[in-house]
A and B are shown apart, each in its own frame.
Chain A
Amino acid sequence: MNNDLLTLTPLITVIVGAMAVLVSDMITPNRNHAPVAVALAALGATAALLINQGGSSASALGGSYVAGPFVAFLGLLGISIVAITLLIAPAYLAVRKYPTAELAATLLFALAGAILLGAATDLVTLFVGLELMVIPGYVLAGYAKRDPLSTEGAVKYFLLGSFSSAILLFGIVVLWGVAGTASLSGIATTLASGNASAGLAVALALITTGSAFKIAAVPFHYWTPDAYQGSPTPITGYLSVGPKVGAFVLLIKLFVIALAPLAALWIPVMVVLAAATMTLGNLVALTQSNVKRMLAYSSIAHTGYLMVGIVAAGAGQAAGIAGVLFYTAAYAFMNLGAFAFLTALQGRPGATTQLSDLAGLGRKHPRMALLATIFLLSLTGIPPTAGFFAKTYVILAAVQAGGPATILAVIAVLNAAIAAFYYLRVIVYLFMRDPAEPAIQVAEGPMLRAGLLLAAVGTVALGLAPTPIIEAVVQALAK
């Protein structure tokens, strides 16, 4: 048991951290920075613990929680996501008179869920972890509770989310019943022996639908644009990466591990979904005039690219999972960066994120515009940025998998070209248009700057020297 506790320490630290945040808020009310500080401290501690756990994999509680490089990787990724969010959010929330304590706590709870998701080895734990990661998301979406848009987004997110949770859960239960065990690996072995029954097919369908919703794959993506546009910008940043990473972990665990024997069934469906997802995401993003909503649609497109990796993984290419993991990391940094940029532009309450607001920013705030350019180029997939290498990685996996995956790869790159149009259009407004009147007020502050910088560093570093991450990823998969 003692050993188990040791293994569980990162998880526990996060949860305790969440409570500590609340306590600190009670002690010193109306002090926006205290909770953030506490939260960051907790994150730091957790990171330390994870790194310390590092490569050695240990299991706790009779194997329902397996720590190891995979968890460490996800944990650290999640920590950086939460950290950047916590750095950029306060400025935004302060001017709008929203507290930071609940934000910090909720984010930490969600992080705990994500870690659990990564460590889970059975359906039940997996599901609980998922919910622990998702439910705080509903709260965050509605965090600007006096803002009709924020609450509208939250309602849509919550209703559809719980609907899909029910679907996913039903699928999990039926799968559980069919396999007669909750353990993921156990399911794989049973399925490998038996042949697919109608019940199993239905279970698979339910699970596919449920998880496709969580990653916002077409045609289960509808919640994304509204929830993202409605939420407060920094939180949108978090929502667009955090839950997405978690959802893909779910996909890996359910499909690549548990349902691997049924790959022949689900790969065709995934291929269709992926193609539809990236295409719709890009085409609609093309028509958006609101940058925030445009990024929402673009995040749908990125889901599509990530699914390419899943397909490759299903076809037995370990590089597929590696690609997905690398992509999530790259995506986390560049997309958070983009939203951090938007956050900075919304220094005033009521500031919009229309393209026209960005006009001529390059002259007034060259540094800010430069950072934005880095993130946009990375999202476009122009070397030497993280985004480029991420795309390359999943495409490489797809090419290795061959067959339909290769076609998917071609569709993916053509989509990337379409995507280039709307990402570059932002750059057009930044540098090639005359400044907008009245000029937007850019938020300042060390934390915000730190957040932006962190994101930028990640974006560039993963592009120039991807090797460490690749090795981490590969190691994470070596189980």
Chain B
Amino acid sequence: MTPIDPVMEVAALPGYAPLLLLLPLIGFAFTAALGRRLGKMAHLVPLGAIVVTWALAMSLAIPALTGGLGEGGASMPLFTWIASGDLSFGLGLHVDALTGALLLVVTTVGALVHLYSVGYMSHDDSYWRFFAYLNLFMFSMLLLVLADNLLVVFAAWELVGLSSYLLIGFWYTKTAPGLAAKKAFITNRVGDVGFALGLMGLVVVFGSLDIHTVLAGVEAGALVGPAATVIALLIFCGAVGKSAQFPLHVWLPDAMEGPTPVSALIHAATMVNAGVYLVARMSPLFAASHDAMLIVAGIGIFTAIFAASIAFTQTDIKRVLAFSTLSQLGYMFAALGVGAWVPAIFHLITHGFFKGLLFLGSGSVIHAVDGEQEMTKMGGLWRKIPITYATMLVGTVAIAGLPPLAGFWSKDEILGEAFKFGFTWVWLVGMVVAGMTAFYMFRLMGLTFWGKSRVHDESHVHESPWTMTVPLIILAVPSIAIGAALGFPFANGILVGGLEPIFHPAIAMLAHEHEAWTLFGIDGLLMLASVTVASIGTVIGVRLFRDDNGAFLGGVTRRLQPLYDGSRNRWYFDDLNDLVFVRFGRKFANALWWFDRRVVDGTVNGVATLTSSGGRGLRQIQTGRVQNYALGIAFGLVAIAAAYLVLAG
């Protein structure tokens, strides 16, 4: 249990690094305390805090990604959090390329969502509360990515869960958000149990939860075999919960009950990526267990196709996006599973931007049609809200994986490496999913913007204020360019350069042979294939939904009724959960409750009644008649005499 010293030399973080955490925290505390009195001014402090945070974050992220901080990254110990005997868990900050990648997404999208919310939430009574929660989330999320100790990561893990709970349940006077919030928190907790147990395992093995100590230990081969598999999978449980992978995916679609900016920030761009981050961060641990990798890949790719198949038939605009998020996260896990760590993070970044964009766009749409989310009640909106339309189109193309937009680059790398590392099945499914993605995204576009309008009162439909459109436009930029920016030239763009060292140990452990990237070779073919699939999906989608041909669609639906219903009802998975956990769980708990009252407490009261009834029985011998008493005495005398004679022998 003696800690193993980190192998890589670590630089020191600049002194202002803690501000990344303090600013949002202060913003939260301030707004929570005084926001109520500030009315419509309540956003100033939180927004300011986040903007500054963004600037600071960039000043760290960019060097980190471009190797400016050195391979080991930079860190700064703060204070000991929990200490017991020879174990102590300290809070410290650490920034390296991986952190940088996350900072990039988190702070950028975060800042934009704050700005966006100024407009989106302007009519809400508890405006201030929303911004307070947002800052609390930013604090937690940044703590999660910056922490250098897994216990702190776990803490942040729970805190983002809390913020997510608070924001999903933001409109607490309605019933649905309350339920959704509860569901989200509890489902996450299921994963966290595994996470916690995994951490305990690590403590027992390494005597520390300091990330570098642990990883160094793993790389030194201190953890192998079943133990490695078990611990890796336990930690993966946490990721599955937070990143809403099958079977813990159920909370994410419901989470759409929260305000749309929240969906964009937490449930698309940042928090749900925490799982990916964690697995990537612990890459050597997973690399140490082949089985663990397989399971990660399996769950990832299954979630990808499973969610996509559901997204096909959803009519709530935000739910479609939610399922597509699941699907895309599945992609990332598949990538992590096959050992394509860099592409996974790459996809995390690109997805963060374009999914954020899509969600904010959908928010703008909903805003435009007075909170309507059913796409069946939209249509033909492109003229009314052109900016929203344009930006969302960008996002759609990006996610569909059509070159040269962001999605194409990351998705292509994932599929490519999956194939090259011999995970043909992952590759195949991935291709299919790529096509499906393109299809359902254009279905979304079609139902929302094209064809003739199904909005009941068109007069109200209006473009959103600049506070909302500006973020859309800003986000459109990375959705278009960041793929190329980070991913070109192929297989050794900036990102690869930055992240390679991070994953080097893991890659080394897996010993994947890496031959050079060849445009006119296997890589080119794979690229061609993925583009083709995406295009096919796109074409079908556009073709079917460009203008209403309900008749034809109805026909198809009818022919595939069972499949359609299954997909529409999320393959009945929530009903299964409800049956097994809620219904049976309640029955079981009630049984215990009965047991508690009747058996456990019953015994206690039983003893009491027994005693008193014994008393009632015994008092009968007091007949009130002297001679009965005397007879008792006489026989007592005889008995005692007999006893003595026996004892005396």
Contact = CB atoms under 8 A, between A and B. Distances in A.
Interface of A: 155-156, 159-160, 163-164, 167, 196, 198, 200-202, 204-206, 208-209, 212-213, 219-220, 222-223, 225-226, 264-266, 268-269, 280, 282-288, 418
Interface stretch (B8-16, B360-368, B619-627): B619-627
Contacts of B524: none
A223 B629 contact: yes
Counting contact residues on chain B (CB < 8 A from A), the size range is 20 to 34
Contacts of A282: 615
Contacts of A418: 611
Contacts of B636: 209, 212, 219-220
Nearest to A196: B648
B643 interface: yes
B614 A283 contact: yes
B639 to A, nearest CB: 9
B647 A209 contact: no
Nearest to A163: B630
A213 B632 CA distance: 11
14 contacts: A155-B626, A159-B626, A198-B645, A200-B648, A208-B640, A209-B637, A219-B632, A222-B633, A226-B622, A226-B624, A268-B643, A280-B618, A283-B618, A418-B611
A284 B637 contact: no
Nearest to A198: B645
A213 B612 contact: no
Nearest to B641: A205
A261 B302 CA distance: 90
A209 B640 CA distance: 8
Nearest to B624: A226
A268 B640 CA distance: 11
Contacts of B648: 196, 198, 200-201, 265
Q: Which 7 A-B pairs have the closest CB atoms?
A: A222-B629, A205-B641, A283-B615, A201-B644, A286-B615, A287-B615, A196-B648
B640 to A, nearest CB: 5
B643 A225 contact: no
B641 A285 contact: no
B interface majority secondary structure: helix
A205 B637 contact: yes
B616 interface: yes
A201 B641 contact: yes
Interface string B585-626: 000000000000000000000000001101110110110101
A359 B615 CA distance: 24
Contacts of A269: 640, 643-644
B603 to A, nearest CB: 16
Given A196-B648, A198-B645, A163 B615 contact: no
Contacts of A206: 637, 641
A264 B644 CA distance: 10
A201 B633 contact: no
B647 A283 contact: no
B630 A287 contact: no
A231 to B, nearest CB: 16
A265 B624 contact: no
Contacts of A202: 641, 644-645
B633 A159 contact: no
B622 A222 contact: yes
A265 B648 CA distance: 7
Given A196-B648, A264-B647, A269-B644, A163 B633 contact: yes
Given A160-B633, A198-B645, A208-B640, 10 more contacts: A159-B626, A160-B629, A167-B637, A200-B648, A206-B637, A208-B644, A222-B621, A265-B647, A283-B612, A286-B611
Contacts of A225: 622
A219 B632 CA distance: 7
Contacts of B619: 284, 287-288
Nearest to A272: B643
Nearest to A197: B648
A288 B612 CA distance: 10
B616 A287 contact: yes
Contacts of A205: 637, 640-641, 643-644
A198 B621 CA distance: 32
A39 B275 CA distance: 94
B632 A201 contact: no
B644 A287 contact: no
A209 B632 CA distance: 11
B172 to A, nearest CB: 42
Contact of A219 (B614, B633, B645): B633
Contact of B633 (A156, A213, A280): A213
Contacts of B647: 264-265, 268
Nearest to A220: B633
A293 to B, nearest CB: 10
A160 B625 CA distance: 11
A265 B644 contact: yes
Given A204-B644, A284-B619, A209 B611 contact: no
B632 A222 contact: yes
Interface in B182-210: none
Contacts of B641: 201-202, 205-206
**Best-buried of A196, A208, A222 by chain B (most CB within 10 Å):** A222
B617 to A, nearest CB: 8
A395 to B, nearest CB: 21
Contacts of B614: 283
B633 A164 contact: yes
Contacts of B621: 222
A197 to B, nearest CB: 8
B633 A286 contact: no
Interface string B225-243: 0000000000000000000
Nearest to B649: A196
Nearest to B635: A219
A403 to B, nearest CB: 15
A244 B206 CA distance: 72
Given A280-B618, A418-B611, A159 B644 contact: no
A285 B615 contact: yes
A269 B643 CA distance: 8
A304 to B, nearest CB: 14
A287 B637 contact: no
A165 to B, nearest CB: 12
A196 B309 CA distance: 99
A288 B615 CA distance: 9
A178 to B, nearest CB: 13
Nearest to A418: B611
Contacts of A212: 636
Contacts of A196: 648
A317 B111 CA distance: 85
A284 B630 CA distance: 20
Contacts of A167: 633, 637
A266 B648 CA distance: 10
Contact of A159 (B616, B622, B628, B630): B630
A364 B632 CA distance: 45
Nearest to A200: B648
A225 B621 CA distance: 12
Contacts of A223: 629
A204 B644 CA distance: 8
A38 B182 CA distance: 84
Contacts of B612: 283, 286-287
Interface in B307-323: none
B81 to A, nearest CB: 44
**Best-buried of A280, A282, A286, A418 by chain B (most CB within 10 Å):** A286
A200 B649 CA distance: 12
B613 to A, nearest CB: 9
Nearest to A164: B633
Contacts of A220: 632-633, 636
A404 to B, nearest CB: 13
Contacts of B645: 198, 201-202
A201 B615 CA distance: 33
Contacts of B628: 222
A210 to B, nearest CB: 9
B496 to A, nearest CB: 76
Contact of B630 (A160, A264, A288): A160
